[in-house]
Each structure stands twice: as C-alpha cells, then as structure tokens.
C-alpha cells in the first residue's frame, strides 16, 4: 500500500446503504483531506433504495458535501475493475454477520457497530437527534483514523488500529 501517492480507499458497509454507511462515507471524505477516499455500499439495498432523507439533511446541516452519495450494492466494489479497497468497515451488525464477497487486494477489515438512527421511534426532532448523534460517533472514530501518521497506515497496522477503534 503506497500511501505517499494515492489515498487509502475505505469502503463502509451496511445492509441497505441508506444511513450509517452514507454518513461515514461523507464524513471520511470531508475529514480525509485527500489522504483517504471513502465509498459506501450495502449487502442488500432495496430496489430503488436511496439514502435516507434525514441522513442527507444531517450531512447538509453539518456542512458536509452530499454530492455523489447513492445507495448501491457491495457487488460494485467486488468487481475486478472497481476501485481497490485498502480498508473495509462494516457499520451495522447485520452486515458484519454476512459473508462478504471477495475483495480484490484483500483489504484490511474492521467492524464499527452503530445503532440504526432510522429505527428511532418518535417525532422528527427525536429522529434528527438520532442521526446527529450517529454522525458524531462516526466522526470521533474517523478523526482518530485520519490523524494517524503515515507509518501507521500499512495493511496490518491499519487493520489493528481500525479494530481497536471499535472498542472506543
């Protein structure tokens, strides 16, 4: 993995690719400052799945770009001509328990579990708060990841670090 010339590609996975993985993709692309390139996908997005409107609204209110965000199947990234991932992080428990496709290049893997903010019951204010809290939790882990020195971004180091961050 040559971190001097190309960004580290990180894929965030969830079942439907509509909330947590979308939040993580946008946040890492914002924080990564060219050192990281984030993507997201789902193991089984529904037909015509789109990012959750509250996820998009939360990102916009946080000043993050939502350009290019879309729900897609993870098979897109298992193709030989797809971007080669350096790190694959599952962000929901359902996707963590599923058999993942073979990822070209055998990227490092980790699981960062977050409660699904779209499952929160209540009024819109409570639902918006759930999305905001999830984004905050994702940001805390990603800030630690993006501030690692380049020497820590070898495949084995990044896998250990990403897994250790799950314990925070």
CATH number at residue 85: 3.40.50.2300
**Averaged over 9-20, what is the pLDDT?**
92
- In a domain, residue 116? The reply is yes
- In a domain, residue 164? The reply is no
- In a domain, residue 1? The reply is no
3-state SS, residue 1: coil
Q: For 47-106, what is each residue's pLDDT tens digit?
A: 788 999 999 999 999 999 999 999 999 888 888 788 889 999 999 866 555 566 667 777
- In a domain, residue 148? The reply is yes
- In a domain, residue 144? The reply is yes
Q: In whole numbers, what is the pLDDT of the chain averaged over residues? A: 86
Task: Read off the tokens for 14.
Answer: 């969830």
- In a domain, residue 163? The reply is no
**Averaged over 159-168, what is the pLDDT?**
77
Domain containing residue 32 = 8-156
Which of 64, 70, 88, 57 has its CA nearest to residue 16?
70
Q: How many domains does the chain have?
A: 1
- In a domain, residue 131? The reply is yes
Model confidence at 18: pLDDT above 80: yes
Give the pTM.
0.88
3-state SS, residue 110: strand
- In a domain, residue 166? The reply is no
Q: Which residues contact 26 (CB under 8 A, 6 or more apart)?
A: 38, 59, 64, 65, 66, 69
Q: How much is the pLDDT for 43?
A: 84
Phi/psi region, residue 54 (left: phi>0; alpha: psi -120 to 50; beta: rest), is alpha
């Amino acid at each position: 993995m040559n971190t001097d010339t190309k960004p580290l590609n990180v894929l965030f996975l969830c079942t439907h690719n509509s909330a947590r993985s979308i939040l993580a993709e946008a946040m890492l692309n914002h924080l990564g400052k060219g050192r990281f390139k984030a993507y997201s996908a789902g193991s089984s997005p529904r037909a015509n799945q789109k990012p959750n409107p509250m996820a998009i609204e939360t990102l916009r209110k946080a000043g993050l770009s939502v350009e290019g965000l879309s729900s897609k199947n993870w098979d897109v990234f298992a193709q030989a001509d797809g971007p080669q991932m350096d790190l694959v992080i599952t962000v929901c428990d359902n996707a963590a328990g599923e058999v993942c496709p073979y990822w070209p290049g055998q990227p490092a893997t980790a699981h960062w579990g977050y409660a699904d903010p779209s499952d929160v019951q209540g009024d819109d204010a409570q639902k918006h708060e759930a999305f905001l809290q999830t984004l905050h939790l994702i940001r805390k882990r990603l800030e630690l990841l993006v501030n690692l020195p380049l020497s820590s971004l070898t495949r084995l180091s990044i896998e250990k670090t990403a897994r250790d961050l799950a314990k925070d």
